[in-house]
DNA sequence: GGTTAGCACTCAAATGAAACGAGTGCTAAT
DNA sequence: ATTAGCACTCGTTTCATTTGAGTGCTAACC
């Protein structure tokens, strides 16, 4: 930002730091007492006035202190803020809560969300590993009653999906078993989003027609792979109520309503899966309900491929630096665990 | 209740009805104007005074009206309240939102919770079908990488669970396949809670030792069947904020914190699975965070066997009669859908 | 020139007095 | 047994006042 000299930046930083801590508009006197800044309050006032004119500060009303704008936070995270590192204690805390025997993806995701929200005191969300980026590993048809079977799909990331389907009445266990084998053989390692219709004739030939059934079944496979809405694990939903800016019941309500809109969060997180870290500040959010929030995300991987992402939702005055550090570290931990689960062992 | 004559009951009912509607302490004049009650406010005051002495009413402060106590609600639901029926519109609304192609248990449960909270405007919860009451149908080991496999378990209620396990390095796909078959054959229709260790020697013989592996695997099966904490589907978590008694930020916070304690809800719902309906009013709740709430539950079944339960959480002044009607109807609908999914067809 | 002391000014928030009014309890008349 | 009447209570609302944190501006200072 060329329009700010070093002194203005330093003052702005002091303001932001203070505001992040106290959530109260900060006045010139507070800053003038700051050890690193040897200036009188009057000088600070002049500088603040400039900063306001440039759009970095806002005044709730004339006789109040000033509050950083979204633009200020943006500048802050882009240029001013320095990366912080987690303390050994914090790392240990995280490790301790990851160390238990975790063998189900569901459980791991839940645990991750829990740790995230507990260590940051914000609301956290974790996108479950996304199935459509992933290859099919096994299909099993399990009979559950006359004319019904459970279709179970397993992918290489250990995600399972299931659905009840009708089966022809003349199809017995052995046939289902055979069909499971054929399907598994045919579809293994194909990506689920291109289980295309060209397969059907081929399958029909092998299984002895039942075309409509095959059709219906493949359709179910396709549909099962759609995001179902249960794809985002949230934790610490009420944490935000502890921050003074959300003591207003209506703000709290709209925040809580916003995070109950799983679709929105889902979209945010899938978008965020493309970049290692992302920070979205206040009005930069698409949802107007979240215009007083910031969202920070990070991705996690299995091996080298990005599998999903996770994020922190908090007030715009959140401690970006720490949150980034936490997300980075936990992202790494999660990637390690998942990778370990699915890749061969090196021993 | 022998200590209340008919007139007192009628007055109490009028008070409760009014309070359910308005959430404001109700005064003697309001009741004296009630069409069914041809009495002056002074008489009502005397009666109210009696009712207070008997513990059915409470006064927030001297110059306020009166508020029904938990004891009053208890009397109300036990003796006074009359069953209400849903309107055709409401039934239709419910049917419409159940009618879509629903083939995954997860999806159905989510849908149920959604409908429940939307039609009642309270917070709803649905206990997912509980696996330990249920019989095993299929076990599949799917290799995911060197030395690792995904263990997939399917039960007769169409519930799947999965976990990553280590497998001996010298075990190949065919062997896994064979083991899956043997396990399925051995364990099918046995209840999961008694997959006992007597099986291990038998299996070891058939699969060619690998005792430690079999041990670990069966242990995983057992563990997978434990409740994981993701067993309760909630919906409409913020609905309660629309009720005036929760405009106090602290009350709202404690309510929201209470329903984030999945363990508590899980326990409530499993306990409630034993009876067709249950009503728990205010202080009757174990959790002190919920002492201002009431919980109404109903069970659902597959065929004739109770599979789980669902409930509504609202303020103590909730519309018990309507909630019961809704729960009854939705419970029935859900039972039908699930039963239909798993039982043979009658056509 | 930039910096600062000083002072008048602003305005949200806190304080407090007064009026209001919904509701009660009690008493005496019906 | 019921009710009209009335004094009393006490939370809520209203409005004016005070308070104080903070500003902007000006004039003096280095």
Tens-place pLDDT, residues A67-117: 999 999 999 999 999 999 999 999 999 999 987 666 678 889 999 999 999
Question: What tokens appear for A290 in the block?
Answer: 């979240």
The rounded distance, in Å, linking the Cα atoms of B311 and B296 is 5
Q: Where are the alpha helices (DSSP H) in chain A?
A: 6-22, 28-32, 41-53, 70-75, 88-98, 105-120, 173-187, 199-207, 211-224, 249-260, 262-272, 320-342
Give the neighbor-by-neighbor strand order of the sheet with B123-127. B232-235, B123-127, B305-315, B293-302, B277-281
b/e per residue B237-262 (b: at least 16 CB within 10 A):
bbbbbebeebeeeebbbbbbebbbeb
Each of the 347 residues of chain B gets a pLDDT tens digit; together they read 457 899 999 999 999 999 999 999 999 999 999 988 889 999 999 999 999 999 999 999 999 999 999 999 999 999 999 999 999 999 999 999 987 666 678 889 999 999 999 999 999 999 998 765 567 788 889 888 788 888 988 877 777 888 888 888 888 888 888 888 888 888 777 665 555 556 666 666 666 667 778 888 888 887 776 666 678 999 999 999 889 988 888 888 889 988 988 889 999 999 999 999 999 999 999 988 899 999 999 999 988 888 899 999 999 999 999 999 999 999 999 999 988 887 755 54
Angle (nearest 5°) at CA B135 between B231 and B302: 65
By DSSP bridging, strand A305-315 and strand A123-127 are antiparallel
CB nearest A145 (choices: B237, B257, B343): B343
Closest nucleotide to the alpha carbon of A7, via C1': C2
**Tokens 């934790």, residue located:** A235
- Averaged pLDDT, A172-192: 81
* pLDDT in the model for residue B340: 84
For residue B146, the chain A residues in CB contact (below 8 A) are 344-345
| Phi-psi group of B158: left, alpha or beta (phi > 0 → left; psi -120 to 50 → alpha; rest → beta) | left
CB B171 within 8 A of CB B212: no
Question: Crossing angle of helices A320-342/A105-120, nearest 10°?
Answer: 160
Cβ neighbour number for residue A174 with a 10 Å cutoff = 8
Question: What tokens appear for A211 in the block?
Answer: 């075309």
- Inter-chain Cβ pairs, chain A and chain B, closer than 8 A: 137
DSSP secondary structure letter of residue A104: -
* B319 vs A138: which has the higher pLDDT: B319
- Averaged pLDDT, A201-214: 71
- Taking the Cβ of residue B261 and every Cβ of chain A, the question of whether any pair is shorter than 8 Å is answered with no
Cβ neighbour number for residue A214 with a 10 Å cutoff = 20
Of A149, A130, A132, the residue nearest A141 (C-alpha):
A149
The rounded distance, in Å, linking the Cα atoms of B255 and B239 is 11
Tell me if residue A302 falls in helix, strand or coil: strand
The rounded distance, in Å, linking the Cα atoms of B275 and B295 is 14
Of A292, A237, A294, A227, the residue nearest A260 (C-alpha):
A237
* pLDDT in the model for residue A239: 93
Q: Distance from residue A256 (CA) to nucleotide D21 (C1'), in Å? A: 33
* pLDDT in the model for residue B347: 47
The rounded distance, in Å, linking the Cα atoms of A329 and A335 is 10
pLDDT band per the 50, 70, 90 thresholds, residue A6: very high
Tens-place pLDDT, residues A232-289: 999 999 999 889 988 888 888 889 988 988 889 999 999 999 999 999 999 999 998 8
* pLDDT in the model for residue B1: 47
Question: What tokens appear for A76 in the block?
Answer: 């802050």
- Taking the Cβ of residue B148 and every Cβ of chain A, the question of whether any pair is shorter than 8 Å is answered with yes
Q: Distance from residue B57 (CA) to nucleotide C20 (C1'), in Å? A: 26
Cα–Cα separations (whole angstroms), residue B324 to A241, B89, B192, B276, B330: 32, 17, 33, 11, 10
Nucleotides of D under 7 A from a protein CB: 2-5, 8-11, 20-26
Q: Distance from residue B65 (CA) to nucleotide C25 (C1'), in Å? A: 13
* pLDDT in the model for residue A315: 96
The rounded distance, in Å, linking the Cα atoms of B75 and B56 is 9
Of B286, B308, B284, the residue nearest B298 (C-alpha):
B308
Cα–Cα separations (whole angstroms), residue A123 to A57, A120, A237: 26, 8, 5
Angle (nearest 5°) at CA B261 between B255 and B262: 125
Closest nucleotide to the alpha carbon of A41, via C1': C4
CA atoms within 13 A on the CB side of A46: 5
Tens-place pLDDT, residues A8-24: 999 999 999 999 999 99
CB A269 within 8 A of CB A297: yes
Of B17, B31, B30, the residue nearest B68 (C-alpha):
B17
Of B203, B196, B188, the residue nearest B154 (C-alpha):
B188
- Taking the Cβ of residue A100 and every Cβ of chain B, the question of whether any pair is shorter than 8 Å is answered with no
**Tokens 């396709």, residue located:** A222
φ, ψ of residue B12 to 5 degrees: the values are -60, -45
Contacts for B20 with CB less than 8 Å, ≥ 6 apart: B317, B318, B319
For residue A344, the chain B residues in CB contact (below 8 A) are 145-148
* pLDDT in the model for residue A183: 85
The rounded distance, in Å, linking the Cα atoms of B115 and B316 is 21
DSSP secondary structure letter of residue B280: E
Q: Distance from residue A61 (CA) to nucleotide C14 (C1'), in Å? A: 18
Q: Where are the alpha helices (DSSP H) in B225-347?
A: 249-260, 262-272, 320-342
pLDDT for residue A28 is more than 90: yes
pLDDT for residue A30 is more than 60: yes
* B295 vs A165: which has the higher pLDDT: B295
* pLDDT in the model for residue B52: 96
CA atoms within 13 A on the CB side of B139: 27
- Taking the Cβ of residue B245 and every Cβ of chain A, the question of whether any pair is shorter than 8 Å is answered with no
pLDDT for residue A226 is more than 80: no
Partners of A67 in beta bridges: A58
B26 sits within 7 Å of strand C by its CB: yes
Q: Which one of B164, B243, B262, B346 would you mutate to disrupt binding with A, by most A Cβ within 10 Å of its Cβ? A: B164
- Decide if B237 and A260 are in contact by the 8 Å CB cutoff: yes
Of A128, A99, A98, A102, the residue nearest A114 (C-alpha):
A98
pLDDT for residue A1 is more than 50: no
Of A90, A342, A300, the residue nearest B149 (C-alpha):
A342
- Decide if B147 and A253 are in contact by the 8 Å CB cutoff: no
* A322 vs B136: which has the higher pLDDT: A322
The rounded distance, in Å, linking the Cα atoms of A25 and A194 is 55
* pLDDT in the model for residue A302: 86
* pLDDT in the model for residue A347: 47
The rounded distance, in Å, linking the Cα atoms of A214 and B180 is 25
């Amino acid at each position: 930002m060329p329009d700010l000299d070093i002194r203005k930046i330093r003052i702005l930083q002091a303001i932001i730091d203070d505001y992040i801590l106290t959530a109260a508009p900060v006045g010139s006197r507070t800053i003038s007492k700051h050890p690193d800044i040897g200036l009188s309050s009057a000088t600070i006032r002049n500088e603040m006035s400039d900063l306001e004119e440039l759009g970095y500060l806002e005044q709730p009303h004339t006789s109040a202190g000033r509050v950083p704008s979204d633009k200020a936070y943006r500048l802050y995270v882009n240029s001013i803020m320095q990366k912080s590192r987690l303390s050994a204690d914090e790392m240990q805390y995280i490790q301790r809560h990851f160390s238990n025997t975790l063998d189900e993806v569901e459980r791991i995701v839940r645990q991750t969300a829990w740790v995230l929200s507990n260590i940051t005191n914000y609301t956290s969300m974790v996108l479950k590993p996304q199935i459509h980026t992933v290859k099919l590993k096994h299909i099993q048809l399990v009979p559950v009653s006359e004319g019904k079977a459970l279709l179970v799909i397993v992918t290489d990331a250990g995600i399972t999906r299931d659905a009840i389907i009708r089966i022809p009445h003349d199809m017995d266990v052995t046939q289902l078993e055979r069909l499971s084998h054929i399907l598994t053989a045919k579809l293994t390692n194909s990506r689920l989003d291109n289980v295309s219709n060209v397969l059907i004739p081929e399958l029909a030939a092998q299984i002895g027609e039942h075309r409509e059934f095959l059709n219906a079944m493949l359709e179910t496979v396709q549909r099962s792979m759609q995001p179902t809405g249960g794809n985002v694990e949230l934790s610490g939903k009420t944490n935000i109520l502890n921050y003074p800016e959300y003591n207003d019941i209506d703000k709290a309500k709209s925040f809580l309503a916003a995070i109950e809109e799983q679709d929105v969060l889902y979209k945010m997180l899938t978008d965020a899966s493309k970049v290692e870290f992302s920070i979205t500040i206040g009005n930069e959010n698409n949802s107007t309900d979240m215009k007083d929030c910031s969202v920070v995300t990070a991705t996690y991987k299995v091996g080298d491929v990005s599998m999903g992402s996770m994020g922190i939702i908090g007030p715009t005055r959140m401690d970006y630096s720490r949150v980034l550090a936490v997300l980075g570290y936990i992202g790494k931990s999660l990637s390690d665990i998942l990778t370990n689960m699915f890749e061969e062992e090196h021993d």
